[in-house]
Amino acid sequence: MVKIMLRTNSKEVKAKVRQYIMDGFQPEAYGYEQYYNVDKENFSCVAHAIYECLYTEKIKYNNQKLSKYEYFKDWMQGLCSMVNSSYYYNVSAIDLLADWLEETEEEKKRFTEEQAEEKITYLLYRELKSGCKFF
């Protein structure tokens, strides 16, 4: 039987993206004391803490008129401290996206590294938005 690549809006992909967010949420590693007591098993709590950090670091004092997604993307490209953004600089975004979508080697060729980074950032934003009403 031929295995079919998962769609980005499938439950399986959403679960993988949420797990990626949960696994990368380590405020202790960056000295964010106000987030030490966040329930790390509750996605809504984690998403809310991530939004608070994004707001404080990128949005609060910024005069640019950008969408929240554009602020989030800029934050991720700057190696934000609350979400694993290593796919921008340290690991292959193509491979990470292929893992999430269960792509074959042939299917992986559809994306450039830059396109994969954009897609991953969007998927992370979409899941965080679903977990926190402020996104």
List pLDDT tens digits, range 32-74: 788 888 898 999 999 999 999 999 889 998 888 899 999 999 9
pTM above 0.85, yes or no: yes
Element (H, E) at 134: none
Domain that holds residue 18: 11-131
Classify residue 4: in a domain, yes or no.
no
Classify residue 97: in a domain, yes or no.
yes
Average pLDDT over residues 2-19: 90
Classify residue 5: in a domain, yes or no.
no
Cα 112 to Cα 92, 94, 97, 98, 109: the distances in Å are 10, 7, 11, 12, 7
List pLDDT tens digits, range 68-122: 999 999 999 988 878 999 999 889 999 999 999 999 999 999 999 999 999 999 9
Sorted by sequence, the CB contacts under 8 Å of residue 58 that are 6+ apart come out as: 71, 72, 74, 75
Classify residue 6: in a domain, yes or no.
no
Domains in the chain, number:
1
Element (H, E) at 87: none
